[in-house]
Amino acid sequence: MSVETQKETLGFQTEVKQLLHLMIHSLYSNKEIFLRELISNASDAVDKLRFEALSKPELLEGGAELKIRVSFDKDAKTVTLEDNGIGMSREDAITHLGTIAKSGTADFMKHLSGDQKKDSHLIGQFGVGFYSAFIVADKVDVFSRRAGAAASEGVHWSSKGEGDFEVATVEKAERGTRIVLHLKSGEDEFADGWRLRNIIKKYSDHIALPIELPKEVAAAEGEEKPAVEWETVNRASALWTRPRTEIKDEEYQEFYKHIAHDFENPLSWSHNKVEGKLEYSSLLYVPTRAPFDLYQREAPKGLKLYVQRVFVMDQAESFLPLYLRFIKGVVDSNDLSLNVSREILQKDPIIDSMKSALTKRVLDMLEKLAKNEPEQYKGFWKNFGQVMKEGPAEDFANKEKIAGLLRFASTNGDEGEQVVGLTEYLARAKEGQDKIYYLTGETYAQVKNSPHLEVFRKKGIEVLLLTDRIDEWLMSYLSDFDGKSFVDVARGDLDLGNLDSEEDKKAAEEVAKSKEGLVERLKTALGDSVAEVRVSHRLTDSPAILAIGEQDLGMQMRQILEASGQKVPDSKPIFEFNPAHPLIEKLDNEQSDERFGDLSHILFDQAALAAGDSLKDPAAYVRRLNKLLVELSV
């Protein structure tokens, strides 16, 4: 062994310690995945070398035949995995093998529950790669040298997977990385060629470079040990270049796990080859679960980009819009240059064409999932619905298509479940209904019990109930769907169109005319608190509600703007009252102006509370209410 210099012992990052403990215990039932993860990392390292060598061919150092080798030693109880890829420097080894440098780490740790089964799913979502080695090994040695570095700049990293690791500088003749796993007691099954061959065929057949195992042959005359020959055990061709008819579902699933570093199967996938003016292949996947950094818009995202099967970029963001940032996959183009950069991608007209086509392909895949697998789509919506709601604002060309994929809670649905699509809503709309009615609010309970829904309940009209913080913003970009316009039932002067009979409209006009005197008295009493006072057509049970002006911001948008530190324009609500309610009748007959004013303000404040708003002057409300209670008790 080479002499080791500059040897030091360093501590693992806290998160790594927790992750190692969890993996060793939670993933024990599926321990063979360690080999898949290590081969996947080795494949990435070879891809990176291949790309860097385009501009620096000297990095190949004469060893242009790129491959991965897996070997074992039954007597020493070791499994060794070696690649001749990009390799690591001493600093790389400390950074990559001692810390988890991934956004969402803190979130990930918060979600861990101590339940091994649940936590193994979370670990899978987060992606663990190298650390899976400790599932079967009680000690791991890593020998590596960065391509282009001198042989004397090799690094030896070693750890028993507990609190710390050792790192030293060593001599290493070849570039790349060699990982030696010292198997735990009871894990000898992995020091076996047949077992390793089966794992590679099962999980890594799709890897697009040779994975070799030693093949024992008879010893030559005079030799004690048989000579070792290497044989390729995987198919070693890029999966996306093969015809779809030749690829099994299991192969698609394993390829997804390789590129996404996910332990779970994808929800759906789409494999396509485009020929003609543009030539490219794409393989796109919808994950089953959302990653922890999904809502960090600056987090790494995008497809793996290949140019003529040569890996170019790991997270090429230019091929899909931001609201589809959860999509994983590969795009392989024949029309791009091998030295393409992120900056060039952003300006290339070819990319615009590919982005448009790939976006439609993803939306078609989701439409198919929603139609054929509604239960699966429910799961998708639960995980990715909020991100999909960013779509109409970002992707005007596909607004109608995205709107068809949106799901909402409704007055006809189960308790708060977002399962109602717009197509389904329109299919069961009332005869003569030419609008899509919705109501936004903070919570499902608040909107479900809102006085704004009273007339809709009476007439049996379904209303969509929108409670996500993004919903009001979303609806500002959705004006219509399938020719039917959206109507916020809490905004403006409600017009039910054909759903109101001529008799109803005429009766409403007569009532409004008869209450003109009360309208004027309420305007005087409420003064600057309101923009307008009018007789309501929305109410059947409640005495009063507050409506929002047609052009005014709703409560959700106000809160979003205030939270971001932006100035919110002033606006006043419209006070609507129910002329048939006993409280309004008493108010109409009240002779005392002072008492009329107190009662008017109490009704106004109650309407604000029913709408989920906070009171401008809670003390004044309590004072007026107490005064009224005292009068009633005398």
Contact call for residues 462 and 412 (beta carbons, < 8 A): yes
Q: What is the structure's pLDDT at 437?
A: 93
Q: Please give the helix or strand (H or E) that residue 464 lies within, else none.
A: strand 464-466
The answer to whether residues 195 and 31 touch, using CB atoms and an 8 Å cutoff, is: no
What is this structure's pTM? 0.75
- pLDDT (tens digit per residue) in 488-511: 988 877 777 767 777 777 887 888
Handedness of CA 613, 617, 622, 624 (dihedral sign): negative
Question: Confidence band (pLDDT; 50, 70, 90) for 103?
Answer: very low
Quote the mean pLDDT of the chain.
84
Of the two residues 339 and 627, the one the predictor is more confident about is 627
* Winning range, highest mean pLDDT, from 252-266, 343-357, 365-379, 526-540: 365-379
282, 214 Cβ separation under 8 angstroms: no
* Residue 105: predicted pLDDT: 45
pLDDT in the model for residue 113: 55
Residue 111 has pLDDT above 80, yes or no: no
DSSP structural state of residue 148: T
Q: What is the spatial distance between Cα 89 and Cα 95, in angstroms, rounded to a whole number? A: 10
22 band by pLDDT with thresholds 50, 70 and 90: low
Domain 5-236 and domain 392-499 have a common topology: no
pLDDT of residue 104: 44
Residue 62: is its pLDDT beyond 70?
no
Strand order across the 5-11 sheet = 5-11, 164-170, 154-159, 137-145, 176-183, 78-83, 68-73, 211-216, 228-232
- pLDDT score, position 365: 96
Q: What is the pLDDT of residue 441?
A: 86
State the pLDDT confidence band at 115, using cuts at 50, 70 and 90.
Answer: low
Tell me how far apart the alpha carbons of residues 40 and 236 are, in angstroms, rounded to a whole number.
13
558 alpha carbon, distance to own chain's centre: 25
CA distance 571 to 418: 31
Q: Tell me: pLDDT of 100 over 80.
A: no
**Measured between alpha carbons, how far is 417 from 401 in angstroms, rounded to an integer?**
22
| CATH class given for the domain over 392-499 | alpha beta
- In terms of C-beta density within 10 A (0-12 exposed, 13-18 middle, 19 or more buried), how is residue 465 classed? buried
Amino acid at 409: A
CB contact at 8 A, 304 and 329: yes
Q: Does residue 124 have a pLDDT over 50?
A: no
The neighbour count for residue 624, using CB atoms within 10 Å, is: 18
Task: Specify the higher pLDDT residue, 588 or 403.
Answer: 403
CA dist 369 and 384 (Å) reads 14
What is the pLDDT averaged over residues 22-37? 72
pLDDT in tens, 450-491: 888 988 898 889 999 998 888 988 998 998 999 999 999 888
Q: Output DSSP code: residue 549.
A: P
Residues 203-246: tens digit of each pLDDT: 888 888 899 999 866 655 666 666 778 999 998 888 998 999 99
DSSP state of 161: S
Token pair, residue 331, equals 């795009």
Q: How many CB atoms lie within 10 A of CB 538?
A: 22
Provide the residue type at 226 as one letter.
P
CB-neighbour burial class of residue 221 (10 A; exposed 0-12, middle 13-18, buried 19+): exposed
Backbone phi and psi for residue 587, each to the nearest 5 degrees, phi listed first: -60, -40
Q: Tell me which amino acid residue 110 is.
A: K
Identify the helix (H) or strand (E) that includes residue 535: strand 532-535
Cβ–Cβ < 8 Å for 80, 178: yes
Domain 5-236 matching CATH 3.30.565.10: the answer reads: yes
pLDDT of 25 reads 63
Which pLDDT does position 223 carry in this prediction?
Answer: 63
What pLDDT score does 218 carry?
A: 61
CATH architecture of the domain with range 240-379: 2-Layer Sandwich (3.30)
Mean pLDDT of 88-92: 92
Of these ranges, 27-36, 555-564, 601-610, the one predicted with the greatest mean pLDDT is: 601-610
**Letter string b/e over residues 30-50, b meaning 16 or more CB atoms within 10 A of that residue's CB:** ebbbbbbbbbbbbbbbbbbbb
Q: Which secondary structure element, helix H or strand E, spans residue 422, and what is its range? A: helix 422-427
pLDDT band at residue 126 using 50, 70 and 90 as cut-offs: very low
Q: What does the domain layout of the chain look like in residue ranges? A: 5-236, 240-379, 392-499, 502-551+567-633
Q: What mean pLDDT do residues 105-110 have?
A: 51
Lowest-pLDDT choice from 21-35, 363-377, 568-582 = 21-35
Q: Which fold has domain 502-551+567-633?
A: Four Helix Bundle (Hemerythrin (Met), subunit A) (1.20.120)
| pLDDT > 90? residue 405 | yes
The pLDDT, as a whole number, for residue 377 is 95
Does residue 291 contact residue 107 with C-beta atoms inside 8 Å? Answer: no
Q: How much is the pLDDT for 157?
A: 94
Could you give the C-alpha distances from 135 to 130, 146, 166, 362, 614, in angstroms and in order?
10, 27, 19, 36, 54
Cα separation, 105 vs 258, in Å, equals 20
φ/ψ (deg, to 5) at 205: -60, -30
| Mean pLDDT of the 163-167 span | 88
Calculate the alpha carbon distances from 200 to 68, 121, 371, 568 in Å.
11, 22, 36, 60
Work out the average pLDDT over 343-372: 90
Q: Which of 36-40, 252-256, 625-629 has the highest mean pLDDT?
A: 252-256
| For range 518-539, the mean pLDDT | 87
* Strand (E) or helix (H) holding 176: strand 176-183
- DSSP alpha helix (H) spans, 487-565: 502-514, 516-526, 555-563
Residues above pLDDT 70, as percent of the chain: 86
Residue whose entry in the numeric block shows the structure tokens 């429910």: 378
First to last CA, the chain: 100
pLDDT digits (tens, 9 = 90+) for 129-159: 788 888 899 999 999 999 999 999 999 999 9
pLDDT 10s digits, 573-625: 889 898 889 998 888 888 888 888 889 999 989 888 887 777 888 898 888 88
pLDDT at 188: 92
The predicted model gives 273-297 an average pLDDT of 86
